[in-house]
Structure 1
């Protein structure tokens, strides 16, 4: 049986890396992207190949939409050369950055950067990759708990993630004819290096988040990687157009 292939943006670190590891553990081949950390990406590729799956790492800046057509050609070439296929099965739009700034102090440059990376990027990257996504495949867009609850300093970031959730529903409707299902996964606060590692490294912040979470702790990368693997597994085949928050019950 032909193995499934997942393309994960921002796979060299954080939640993207963890998702790649868990998908590989399920026997899914990986195409991962990285923006600048080629060494980390190649180390992950070697790790995944040692587990017995095929893994290829490609450079991509999701904030540079003018590069997407050339990137799609790279993906097509990688599929032919490394996987013997003309399509892949799962797209995980994960790559992103965090900018914390009060609404009244958010600069237009910061806003534009977030738009390019978190909204325009996934919109047009998915569009360019559509011919390479297999019929019956799946798209998983990464949102945030901050699209549901509001914390000072994340007006722009939360707005982008809210837009991604709306976009996902439209994609689910328009791609349904190809049996492609589209969902968003919305992590809560997770102990990674995202946003400078504040949740992981600041004990007071960590304790504050844990105290407002029903399950009494901050999330771990494995919590999200396992959820992504579950949604892309057989159990997720009839889940479509949904927002799935994976936060342990924060701010309920």
Structure 2
């Protein structure tokens, strides 16, 4: 059985990706931050469908915890699947913050950097010795890095995601001798709990975003999760170093 690690899978895109990957017969180690209940709910959904999953806590913004997390992953692999390695890594955990450049604090900038760029960089580095050759990595980026149609307020957030896009290509280059493919997905506006559950707090933005989307609605987590599951699978065995926008044609 193949095994995947999916970070930030207590809700939203991460939960959808974990469930869809498991539905295709892959075991899942999923992580949660503050939402432990959400992590267990994702495990329950996978198990109800006949899959196998383990939930582990992880603060992607604190690299000092990564060594202990690696040990927890190694133990879960042995105890649950009797394996020493895993096959797929989905660097999905994230946060969002919107503020104009003139109003952005260094603390906000640094927090975004730690979670969205430094975290995936050093978590991947830490987990590489446990990753089997011939596997795959998917990084969750954002269409906020696009060349046109930008929305004011995302200069810091999008800069980190832009860095992740570049990192994706370098990972693909450096890991290719081991047959490890690396790609990114760039969602558009997606109905998740990110930014303090903004879609629930500001429902009036939904029709505005839908009007800007060629396919006429905002994205749902399952729209993205299905693509992530496809990219880690053997169906995508000849795809690497790509950043696939999954936005329903936002600003098309």
TM-score when scaled to structure 1?
0.96
The answer on whether the counterparts of 2:135 and 2:232 sit within 8 Å (CA) in structure 1 is no
Tell me the residue number matched to 1:75: 73
Tell me the residue number matched to 2:245: 245
| 1:31 Cα offset (Å) | 0.1
Tell me the residue number matched to 1:4: 2
| 1:12 Cα offset (Å) | 0.9
The one-character-per-residue Cα deviations of 1:45-88 (angstroms, maximum 9, x if unpaired) are: 12212222211011110000011111111111110111110111
Tell me the residue number matched to 2:131: 133
Tell me the residue number matched to 1:195: 195
In the alignment, is residue 54 of structure 1 matched against residue 52 of structure 2?
A: yes
In the alignment, is residue 116 of structure 1 matched against residue 114 of structure 2?
A: yes
Tell me the residue number matched to 2:61: 63
| 1:242 Cα offset (Å) | 0.4
| 1:248 Cα offset (Å) | 0.5
Tell me the residue number matched to 1:20: 18
SS in 2 for 1:192: coil
Structure 1 distance, partners of 2:25, 2:95, is 29
Structure 2 distance, partners of 1:242, 1:121, is 20
Structure 1 distance, partners of 2:82, 2:50, is 16
Q: 4+ residue runs of structure 1 moved beyond 6 angstroms?
A: none
Gaps of at least 5 residues in structure 1 are none
Tell me the residue number matched to 1:99: 97
Tell me the residue number matched to 2:145: 147
The one-character-per-residue Cα deviations of 1:93-148 (angstroms, maximum 9, x if unpaired) are: 00011111111100000000000000000000000000111100001000001011
RMSD over aligned Cα atoms = 1.2
| 1:201 Cα offset (Å) | 5.1
Structure 1 distance, partners of 2:12, 2:212, is 23
Structure 2 distance, partners of 1:70, 1:203, is 40
**Aligned pair partner of 1:34 in 25, 32, 35:** 32
Tell me the residue number matched to 2:225: 225
Structure 2 distance, partners of 1:191, 1:42, is 21
Structure 1 distance, partners of 2:221, 2:43, is 18
| 1:15 Cα offset (Å) | 0.8
SS in 1 for 2:204: helix
Which stretch has the larger CA shift, 227-236 or 160-169? 227-236
Which stretch has the larger CA shift, 103-112 or 209-218? 209-218
